[in-house]
Amino acid sequence: MSVLALAVAATGCAAVPEPDGYAPPKAEGQQAPDRVEPLATAPGPQLPVTVASADGKRVKVTSTDRIVPLTGSLNEIVFTLGLGQNVVARDITATFEQAKALPVVTRAHDVSAESVLSLKPTVVLADTTTGPAEAVAQIRDAGIPLVVVEPAKELADVDRRIDAVAAALGVRPAGAELKKRTQERIAAVQKDIPKPKDGKKPRVTFLYLRGSASVYLLGGRDSGAASLLEAAGAVDAGKDSGLNKDFTAITSEALVKAAPDAILVMSKGLTSVNGVEGLLKVPGVAETPAGVDRRIVSVDDGVLLNYGPRTDQVLKTLVDQLYGKDK
């Protein structure tokens, strides 16, 4: 898989494919359980429904008894809507507690059509990055209702994704309730963001790292992180410095131009370069204000770019690390 493909895959979804040769580090103890919080009352699906799929199809869903979401973020939405008991499979990135015992039928964007079909799903949820195309077609050709949803790339996509999944599963009222709860929680986090000192917002650069595969990328305008950083009262330094693509290879010159006050990384990425000390050895990092001050913000891979029901938690983690004692 090419470096560019890796970078594109990292944008706006939890399903970040691991490069060939990358061995995920052993998980360390977490401060809080990795769980989603379903709505208090499980919804009763109003079926059948016919919905527009993002790939141009019209799909009729008659049963939600056996749901297969093909990305981690879609798994998260289904469980949070209160239909987790109907989910029979997961993507490898759906690692939250309620889903982790389910069989894995897709690893990032490598779907096993045979595994999906063996579970006799009544509805399959995918997004436009799900593949390979042959596997998606095989599932559809077997007569399984398959609804494709546009991936999330920014905070504004949270409502749209929840709406699309809720509509496909016949639980629109639950979708409306989940949207309201999610937006209220995001707003509550934003209320606690301190005003910038001297009117200057912190500059943050998003780096995508997989050290054992020698993948070191600097996020630009379309990395998927800009909206989250802006919601946290920060400036995406890569975007602001003129990087108009999603990701580019890290260079000392690009980092100096971005001049970040802090660096945002995924937790596995930070582990893959042997922590902060290893990150400071990446060319250019130690010369940035962030490197000098060792201001590194780390967020779990599985939720950072999901833009879903747990976005408030991601935002709070980002805000707490970014501002620290200033809050």
**Which residue in 49, 85, 88, 56 sits closest to 69, CA to CA?**
88
Where are the alpha helices (H) located in 44-120, listed in sequence order? 72-78, 113-118
Q: Which residues on neighbouring strands pair with residue 208, listed in sequence order?
A: 217
Where are the alpha helices (H) located in the chain, listed in sequence order? 3-9, 72-78, 113-118, 133-141, 157-168, 172-191, 226-231, 237-240, 252-258, 267-272, 275-279, 289-293, 311-323
| Strand 104-107 versus strand 110-111 pairing type | antiparallel
Strand order in the sheet with 90-91: 90-91, 104-107, 110-111
Do residues 238 and 182 touch, judged by C-beta distance below 8 A? no
Do residues 220 and 239 touch, judged by C-beta distance below 8 A? yes
Q: Is 61 helix (H, G, I), strand (E, B) or coil?
A: strand
Q: Return per-residue pLDDT of the chain as tens, 327 residues.
A: 444 444 434 433 433 333 333 333 333 333 467 899 999 998 999 999 999 999 999 999 999 999 999 999 999 999 999 999 999 999 998 989 999 999 999 986 799 999 999 999 999 999 999 999 999 999 999 999 999 999 998 999 999 999 999 999 999 999 999 999 999 999 999 999 998 878 899 999 999 999 989 999 999 999 999 999 999 999 999 999 999 889 999 999 999 999 999 999 999 999 999 999 999 999 999 999 999 999 999 999 888 988 999 999 999 999 999 998 555
d(C-alpha 21, C-alpha 154), whole Å? 30
* Residue type for position 159: D
Which pLDDT does position 95 carry in this prediction?
87
Give the chain's count of helices (H) and strands (E): 13, 14
Give the length of the chain.
327
Q: Is 44 helix (H, G, I), strand (E, B) or coil?
A: coil
**Which residue in 103, 131, 187 sits closest to 1, CA to CA?**
131
d(C-alpha 67, C-alpha 83), whole Å? 9
b/e map of 88-113 (b: 16 or more CB within 10 Å)? bbbbbbbbbebbeebeebbebbebeb
Which pLDDT does position 326 carry in this prediction?
58
Do residues 46 and 38 touch, judged by C-beta distance below 8 A? no
Which pLDDT does position 108 carry in this prediction?
63
Torsion on CA atoms 116, 121, 123, 128, rounded to nearest 10: 0
Q: What is the DSSP string of 233-256?
A: T-EEHHHHTT--SSEEE--HHHHH
Give the pTM. 0.86
Could you give phi then psi for residue 270, rounded to 5 degrees?
A: -65, -40
